Amino acid sequence: MPETDPMAEIRASFFIECEELLESLQDGLTAMDDGDTDSETINVCFRAVHSIKGGAGAFGLEELVRFAHRFETVMDEIRNGRLDPTRDTIALFFRGADILYDIVRASRDGETLDTTTTEAVLGDLEALVGGVIEEEVEEEIDFAPMTLSLDPLGDDDGESSDAADDSPPGFAISFHPNAELFASGNEPRHLLAALQDLGEMTTTCDLSKLPALENLHPEEGAIGWHIELTTPAREEEVAEVFEFVDGLCELTIKARGNAAPGLPDLDSIVIPGTADDGDGPTPDPAPATAEDDEPDPEPEPVSAAPQPTPPKPAPTAGAGKDSKQAAAGPKATVRVDLDRIERLVNLVGELVINQAMLSQSVVEAGIPANSTVSSGLEEFLQLTRDIQESVMMIRAQPVKSLFQRMSRIVRESSSMVGKSVRFVTDGEATEIDKTVIERLADPLTHMVRNAVDHGLETTEGRLKAGKPSEGVVTLTAAHKSGRVVLEIKDDGGGINREVVRAKAEEKGLIPPGVPMQDQEIDNLLFLPGFSTAKEVSDLSGRGVGMDVVRSSIQALGGRVTITSEPGVGTTFSISLPLTLAVLDGMVVEAGGEILVVPLGSISETLTLQAADMEQLGAGTKLVRIREEFVPILDMAVQLGFRPALESYEGSSVLLITMEDNTRSALVVDRIVEQRQVVIKGLQESYGRIPGIAAATILGNGRIALILDPADLIASAGSSRSLQTFDLAG
Amino acid sequence: MSLKILAVDDSRTIRDMLKLALAQAGFAPEVAEDGVHGLEVLEEMAQDGTPPDAIITDINMPRMDGFGFIDAVRAKSAHSAVPILVLSTESAAELKARARASGATGWIVKPFDPVKLVKAINMVAGKGAA
């Protein structure tokens, strides 16, 4: 069946639509939770669940239909004003939405979900309306009334209904439309035609009710029909033809001959139209993808967004309530294969490289800067940058879906540890590259869980400290100077530095008694193997520490920092590049090789003076930078390009500030230039290489490695940064 | 000439399926996203001289629901007789009464089934020359 292919495509887009609907459900519930119980807000929520149910039904996703139906029914009570949208009720709805999300996912991936939680949530939901909701039964058939309208003219006798005679099976039908039948847009002609499809038919027109011409109103039913239908069809199939006009006409259907028996039992009736294929009315939506080459002529703004989230307005903070905007119809979007975008991104990358090559040739050719070639190149440069930004924007996506996932994490983890938590978000419309968003989910999940589990005090603890019993976890996103900054903030007790310190000493992560600044202690949380949890709780005992969080954020070219104030709370800030495709870098030379260092990790550059340098032990050299000694690291040595130099006097140095605010001085032979480079991943071909983040192609066509300075420094000796404390303290 | 069908549903999935099923059955489908949009498309079709031979509409929709849409269509003299089928998940007994009160010609209960749909259209709009 060739039509299964477009069905598979529609099925896929159904799940995308589900994501959007779940998002608007979340939005609506959040709005309700904030006190907006406007009927349209409630309607949006209801419709979201309702639409999921409708689509799920079309694909025979029974589990999804079942849950959505019962969920929707409870919601309907709010819509009808029979149930108050209290905070507890809304909290339950949130749980319902979570389960719905799970069932959608499971349905999409063909997995089976453990029904224990499903049933528990349904039980709680249904308790709101006082009982179990009947599952939707196909109860749409009630032909019974038809037998009541006895038409005196109908008995065309000759073939009596009781006759088990030899005449062929069939029905004697008498049909006389009322005026209302015409008013509802029904047309007897079509009904008769439909009847004809069932078998042999002879029709006699009954004009007995036809008034005199002067009294004739064309819209009133004046004509009736007597029909002799010879058919193997069953009585309900015949009755079905008249389903829509039931009550709008006088109708009798009498079986004749060996007519197929009528309805044995009203409850066992099959859906009209599917009478002959008893099971699932759905065409098999299963296999293969294929082109949907059906032309699409309609002028309406068809929304077929390829992304789970439709594009929302500009990347600004404070998205606020846009559930109502959503109701007003999404913006026009185009559906594009991700591969095509990847190709475009790559091509633009080539363009950037090509432009760099061109610039270099122009310089080498000695063409003066005020020439038309140079100014043309200048414009070309600007255009390239604009194109590049626009292309990156195609992949950009609001962080909203991510934030909604986090709100679920807060709900789940707070109920697990028995804390009452309010989750506040801001800047949901902030856009980041899709790949970055995907890879942020795990680290964010961990940090949000941490905020609930470790960050916030217990309810008693909060009351004792004079705080409201409900803790607040805030997640914000914003664009700041070309980067995206995410913050996870709790209003808990702050980091208990004494405990952290003691723990670190106990685990041998730091020597006992080292003088340390507050921030340095806070940063101990990022050390591998560190955990402040007194015992491994359900939440934190997942084998993931903050060190893993930090390294996954670093892998995205990002940084994490902590600020904490005792009694007030803790904030984790994540700063990320807007895209993973381009990077502002410092091009340097070390040991005769050209390398690129991400600009974001360099805090300053300087030239080494003999007076500022100190020797510590055998191999460690230090440089004094504003009253602080910073270890010197020779990049060429670290990368194995050449042995250490006798003297570093006059060498150029990049001062690298690490996420924990410790610093290192990276010696290079020469700083070449500062420029944007296109990132080419190496992982696929070479796997992960310590100290190397990626590669790029330079203007002269040469390949240069892009360094991961933090990684390089860490592999040079993770204890080194602590040595600076000894001297600085 | 194939029958022109206007299908109104706020779910993109259902719209896609309607379009597919209608086109496969040899009809010429147009779709709209809600009642308000449905009226716009209806007017465009009428202005192009290709008014729909039948309309299919969902009930639960933003901006203008199915009942409001049917009322509005019936209020226009040009479309007072066009057959309108309601496609809904509502259970039939209740639906029938409400749909009929608002001027619907017939109703189809979801889950959406192409066979049922085509049959119902033929029932209310007759068979096109197709």
- ipTM, 2 decimals? 0.86
Answer whether B89 sits within 8 Å of A53, measured CB to CB.
Answer: yes
Say if A314 is an interface residue toward chain B (CB within 8 Å): no
Query: Looking at residues A140-165, what average pLDDT do you find?
Result: 41
Query: Looking at residues A604-628, what average pLDDT do you find?
Result: 82
pLDDT of residue A219: 65
pLDDT band at A403 (very low <50, low <70, confident <90, very high): very high
Q: Give the residue, B63 or A723, on which the prediction is more confident.
A: B63
Are A409 and A448 spatial neighbours (Cβ–Cβ below 8 Å)?
A: yes
Answer whether A244 sits within 8 Å of B93, measured CB to CB.
Answer: no
Q: How many Å apart are CA B105 and CA A451, to the nearest integer? A: 58
Residue A687, judged by CB atoms within 10 A of its CB (0-12, 13-18, 19+), counts as exposed
- Check whether A489 has a pLDDT greater than 90: yes
Query: Looking at residues A105-117, what average pLDDT do you find?
Result: 84
Highest mean pLDDT among A89-93, A117-121, A513-517, B124-128 belongs to A89-93
pLDDT of residue A464: 92
Answer whether B11 sits within 8 Å of A183, measured CB to CB.
Answer: no
Residue labelled with tokens 């491994």: A536
Q: What is the mean pLDDT of chain A?
A: 76
Query: Looking at residues A17-39, what average pLDDT do you find?
Result: 88
Among chain B residues, CA nearest to A196: B123
Say if A13 is an interface residue toward chain B (CB within 8 Å): yes
Q: Looking at the partner chain, which of A47, A137, A282 has a beta carbon nearest the beta carbon of B10?
A: A47
DSSP-assigned states of every residue in A612-654: GEEEETTTEEEEEETTEEEEEEEHHHHTTSSPPPS--TT-EEE
Angle, helices A87-109/A4-33, rounded to nearest 10 degrees = 160
Q: Give the residue, A558 or B69, on which the prediction is more confident.
A: B69
Are B96 and B68 spatial neighbours (Cβ–Cβ below 8 Å)?
A: no
- Check whether A724 has a pLDDT greater than 80: no
What is the dihedral sign for C-alpha A636, A639, A641, A642? positive
Answer whether A190 sits within 8 Å of B125, measured CB to CB.
Answer: yes
Answer whether B83 sits within 8 Å of A186, measured CB to CB.
Answer: yes
Answer whether A271 sits within 8 Å of B120, measured CB to CB.
Answer: no
A58, A197, B8 from B86: Cα distances, Å: 16, 23, 10
Query: Looking at residues A456-474, what average pLDDT do you find?
Result: 91
Query: Looking at residues A542-559, what average pLDDT do you find?
Result: 75
Q: How many Å apart are CA A693 and CA A530, to the nearest integer? A: 26
Answer whether A14 sits within 8 Å of B119, measured CB to CB.
Answer: no
pLDDT of residue A425: 92
pLDDT of residue A299: 43
Q: How many Å apart are CA A654 and CA A668, to the nearest integer? A: 8
pLDDT of residue A668: 92
pLDDT band at A439 (very low <50, low <70, confident <90, very high): confident
Q: What is the DSSP letter of A656?
A: E
Q: What are the tens digits of pLDDT across the range A626-673?
A: 888 888 888 898 888 888 888 888 888 998 876 566 788 999 999 988
Q: How many Å apart are CA A593 and CA A411, to the nearest integer? A: 52
pLDDT band at A717 (very low <50, low <70, confident <90, very high): low
- Check whether A436 has a pLDDT greater than 80: yes
Q: Which two structure tokens, joined as six digits, stand for A317? A: 């903070």
Listed range (A17-21, A448-452, A721-725) with the worst mean pLDDT: A721-725
Among chain B residues, CA nearest to A326: B62
Q: Give the residue, A191 or A295, on which the prediction is more confident.
A: A191
Q: What are the tens digits of pLDDT across the range A378-396?
A: 898 888 888 887 887 788 8
pLDDT of residue A482: 66
pLDDT of residue A238: 80
Task: Find chain B residues with C-beta within 8 A of A190's C-beta.
Answer: 122-127
Query: Looking at residues A699-715, what average pLDDT do you find?
Result: 82
Among chain B residues, CA nearest to A48: B11
Answer whether B115 sits within 8 Å of A327, measured CB to CB.
Answer: no
**Phi then psi for A480, rounded to 5 degrees?**
-135, 120
A296, A305, A584, A668 from A671: Cα distances, Å: 56, 45, 14, 7
Measured in angstroms, the CA of A337 and the nearest CA of chain B are apart by 18
pLDDT band at A4 (very low <50, low <70, confident <90, very high): low
Q: How many Å apart are CA A165 and CA A177, to the nearest integer? A: 30
Query: Looking at residues A319-335, what average pLDDT do you find?
Result: 50
Answer whether B103 sits within 8 Å of A183, measured CB to CB.
Answer: yes
Residue A359, judged by CB atoms within 10 A of its CB (0-12, 13-18, 19+), counts as middle
Measured in angstroms, the CA of A86 and the nearest CA of chain B are apart by 24
Listed range (A36-40, A161-165, A253-257, A345-349) with the worst mean pLDDT: A161-165
- The order of strands in the sheet holding A582-590 is A670-678, A582-590, A593-598, A703-707, A692-697
Q: How many Å apart are CA A191 and CA A308, to the nearest integer? A: 45
Q: How many Å apart are CA A557 and CA A647, to the nearest integer? A: 33
Among chain A residues, CA nearest to B84: A185
pLDDT of residue A526: 82
Task: Find chain B residues with C-beta within 8 A of A290's C-beta.
Answer: none
DSSP-assigned states of every residue in B4-69: EEEEE-S-HHHHHHHHHHHHHTT-EEEEESSHHHHHHHHHHHHHTT---SEEEE-SS-SSS-HHHH
Measured in angstroms, the CA of A393 and the nearest CA of chain B are apart by 25
pTM for this prediction? 0.61
Rg of chain A's alpha carbons, rounded to an integer? 36
Query: Looking at residues B52-58, what average pLDDT do you find?
Result: 91
pLDDT of residue A242: 82
Interface test mutation site (partner A, options B4, B17, B60, B61, max chain A beta carbons within 10 A): B17
Measured in angstroms, the CA of A58 and the nearest CA of chain B are apart by 5
Answer whether B31 sits within 8 Å of A329, measured CB to CB.
Answer: no
Q: Give the residue, A275 or A206, on which the prediction is more confident.
A: A206
Are A491 and A452 spatial neighbours (Cβ–Cβ below 8 Å)?
A: no
Q: How many Å apart are CA A577 and CA A557, to the nearest integer? A: 6
pLDDT of residue A25: 92
Listed range (A110-119, A160-169, B9-18) with the worst mean pLDDT: A160-169
Tell me how crowded residue A264 is: count the other CB atoms within 10 A of its CB.
Answer: 9
Q: Identify each DSSP E strand in A304-380 by its residue range.
A: none
Residue labelled with tokens 């990347």: A315
Say if A187 is an interface residue toward chain B (CB within 8 Å): yes
pLDDT of residue B29: 92
- Check whether A162 has a pLDDT greater than 60: no
Query: Looking at residues A574-590, what average pLDDT do you find?
Result: 81
Q: How many Å apart are CA A259 and CA A243, to the nearest integer? A: 20
Strands A593-598 and A620-625: unpaired
Residue labelled with tokens 């000439």: B1
Q: How many Å apart are CA B91 and CA B97, to the nearest integer? A: 11
Among chain A residues, CA nearest to B38: A300
Q: Which amino acid is at B66?
A: G
H-run or E-run covering A15? helix A4-33
pLDDT band at A481 (very low <50, low <70, confident <90, very high): low
Tell me how crowded residue B100 is: count the other CB atoms within 10 A of its CB.
Answer: 21
Task: Find chain B residues with C-beta within 8 A of A272's C-beta.
Answer: 116
Measured in angstroms, the CA of A172 and the nearest CA of chain B are apart by 20
Say if A17 is an interface residue toward chain B (CB within 8 Å): yes
Interface test mutation site (partner B, options A66, A267, A300, A323, max chain B beta carbons within 10 A): A300
Cis peptide before A511 (omega within 30 of 0): no
Q: What is the mean pLDDT of chain B?
A: 85
- Check whether B10 has a pLDDT greater than 70: yes
Task: Find chain A residues with C-beta within 8 A of B71's C-beta.
Answer: none
Answer whether A304 sits within 8 Å of B106, measured CB to CB.
Answer: no
Share of chain A above pLDDT 70, in %: 78
Task: Find chain B residues with C-beta within 8 A of A179's C-beta.
Answer: none
Task: Find chain B residues with C-beta within 8 A of A182's C-beta.
Answer: 81
What is the dihedral sign for C-alpha A549, A550, A552, A553? positive
Query: Looking at residues A678-692, what average pLDDT do you find?
Result: 76
Q: What are the tens digits of pLDDT across the range A197-223?
A: 778 888 888 777 777 777 777 666 678
Answer whether B14 sits within 8 Å of A58, measured CB to CB.
Answer: yes
- Check whether A442 has a pLDDT greater than 80: yes
Answer whether A187 sits within 8 Å of B126, measured CB to CB.
Answer: yes
pLDDT of residue A297: 44
In the stretch 385-404 of chain A, residues with CB closer than 8 A to chain B read none
Highest mean pLDDT among A508-512, B16-20, B124-128 belongs to B16-20
Answer whether A244 sits within 8 Å of B124, measured CB to CB.
Answer: yes
Answer whether B110 sits within 8 Å of A54, measured CB to CB.
Answer: yes
Rg of chain B's alpha carbons, rounded to an integer? 13
pLDDT of residue A370: 84
- Check whether A538 has a pLDDT greater than 50: no
Q: Looking at the partner chain, which of B11, B41, B125 has a beta carbon nearest the beta carbon of A55?
A: B11
pLDDT of residue A713: 81
Task: Find chain B residues with C-beta within 8 A of A247's C-beta.
Answer: 100
Listed range (A423-432, A487-496, A617-626, B113-122) with the worst mean pLDDT: A617-626
pLDDT of residue A468: 92
Are A523 and A562 spatial neighbours (Cβ–Cβ below 8 Å)?
A: yes
Q: Give the residue, A729 or B6, on which the prediction is more confident.
A: B6
pLDDT of residue A112: 82
pLDDT of residue B116: 82
pLDDT band at A282 (very low <50, low <70, confident <90, very high): very low
- Check whether A603 has a pLDDT greater than 80: yes
pLDDT of residue A316: 40
Are B18 and B85 spatial neighbours (Cβ–Cβ below 8 Å)?
A: no
- Check whether A234 has a pLDDT greater than 50: yes
Are A536 and A513 spatial neighbours (Cβ–Cβ below 8 Å)?
A: no
Query: Looking at residues A299-318, what average pLDDT do you find?
Result: 41
Say if A282 is an interface residue toward chain B (CB within 8 Å): yes
pLDDT of residue A527: 79
pLDDT of residue A39: 83
- The region, left, alpha or beta by phi > 0 then psi within -120 to 50, assigned to residue A160 is beta
Work out how many CB contacts closer than 8 A connect A with B: 159
Answer whether B92 sits within 8 Å of A142, measured CB to CB.
Answer: yes
Answer whether A10 sits within 8 Å of B125, measured CB to CB.
Answer: no
Residue A718 CA from chain centroid, whole number: 37
What SS3 class is residue A322? coil
